[in-house]
Structure 1
Amino acid sequence: MMDGELGAFLRSRREALRPADVGLPSGPRRRTPGLRRAELATLAQVSVEYLTRLEQGRDTRPSPEILAALADALLLDDADRDHLHQLATVGHSRHLCPHERTSVARAVRPTVRAVLDGLRDTPAYVVNQLSDVLAWNDAFERLGRPLGLLDGSPPNLLWFTFADERARDHFPQWAELADQQVAELHRLRRGDPVADAFAQRLARTVGAPFTDRWRRRPVAAPRTGVRGLRHPQAGPLRLAYETLELADAAHQRIVVHLPADAASASALDGLLGRRPGQLRAVAG
């Protein structure tokens, strides 16, 4: 549940901020991580009592001015600032409409499926905010099935990354991938109890690798980049990925994979049964 999440998020960022980052001495007797509550209150020009109420979830409706002051004092980046304001908005909306909840959509529009099919030579799939893989094209079937990515019902990329031992073998930068997926789940929670229940099940299943990341409350995840992959049939691959948000589809995204170098393009051609030169590298 999102109850108390605003305070927990503020506390996580306070504890992650080093005193030296804001010009304060660390001191030999500092027993808590990050800034002390009184130090943050001074920097943000709010009372310690009010900051305590915020962090303990007894006040969930700070003014925009106070949010801005706290964000400045905590040196929040753009993603954290946006998330902080979203949490405050959710808290205010819940006060007005306490029964309102978001939902997890698993139906994919026919037009979106047609787009996937139109990307004939390009592995692509549709994923929701829980990382359920809802639809995919034949190219992704050939890429992902040998990895085990499509074994679940429905397949779930986050569950595979943390709970399937094959994930660490297939993804050389596994830790980075895990960080990104947790951040995306956290960013898209939006007060949905289904998302929290999913996170709790995953935490019970895999423990610290997930819970340590979840407690940090990350929210910044890149929507594009290059990812390494050890494929059991195609060998080592470097794949560029693009994440495309779908309009009016409850946080569904299309993720498209393209070869990032000539060797990966050639290997994908072979894996997908295409003639050589069908795919071209798009990134260095």
Structure 2
Amino acid sequence: MTDVASLERRLAEHRTRIEGVLEALFHDRNEVSTRLEAAMRHGVLGGGKRLRPILVYVTGRALGAAPDALDAPAAAVELIHAYSLVHDDLPAMDDDDLRRGNPTVHKAFDDATAILAGDALQTLAFEVLARSSHPRLGALVRSLTEASGRDGMAAGQALDLNAVGAQPSVDALVEMHRHKTGALIRAAVRMGALTAVAETDARVAALDRYAAAIGLAFQIHDDILDITGDTATLGKTSGADAAREKPTYPALLGLDASRRKAKGLLDEALEALAPLGENGSPLAELARYMIERDH
């Protein structure tokens, strides 16, 4: 059984660490544009679960990586996630006014500044990785680029936009979310693993199966929370997916079937951790947390 208090304490420690790493990226800079810097800070330093960098830290530590070696990949994956949210929130995309309980970047600044801030956060991610000089830097960069671009997150967002007002099959919805949400979660786990071991290590493949399952379970639970949660707890507008006629798991399967689907994916993730033995326990706890959270 998961010790909730202990898990929350460890998650808080990881969040504190990544917050410090991200804050340091904005310290002691001779800013060319103070407005752009402010918008970037608003987009990445405004709180959040920090789930993706936590996955980097927990995976890397499970395989023996030192925390210092994990800082750059953890920051890079969160910067990519932040840029995607800044752009997704724009009027041309999801047109959201609220993110993490604060005005979205285009509301706090303007549309053009939000576009530039997202662009700059994206490139900063790869600058952070490039400066790390990790011996498997090429594999780390490849993992992040593949997860972010035309075969990953960007493709998933395109599928999402095309699905508005439609009734796709469950298989089509799975395909969309494996790219839009799942790809970056898989990259976070993979980058944590590759910081510690080579790509040929059998545990990397096992962790990829784990990440694929939790990535989809996470999105299903997100869809559930959009219906069952409230705006104050979620930090974003509840019921927004239904209002935009976006396809979701509960809309296609119903709430109970969606919960069963998420639980089945959790079981798949836990089975995939078998090659890690006891070292996989923190990842198992994190997987359970991902489908039990309230925001």
Tell me the TM-score normalized by structure 1.
Answer: 0.25
- The structure that is helix-richer by fraction is 2
Larger radius of gyration: 1
Tell me the TM-score normalized by structure 2.
Answer: 0.24
Structure with more contact order per residue of length (Cα contacts < 8 Å, sep ≥ 6) = 2
- The structure that is strand-richer by fraction is 1
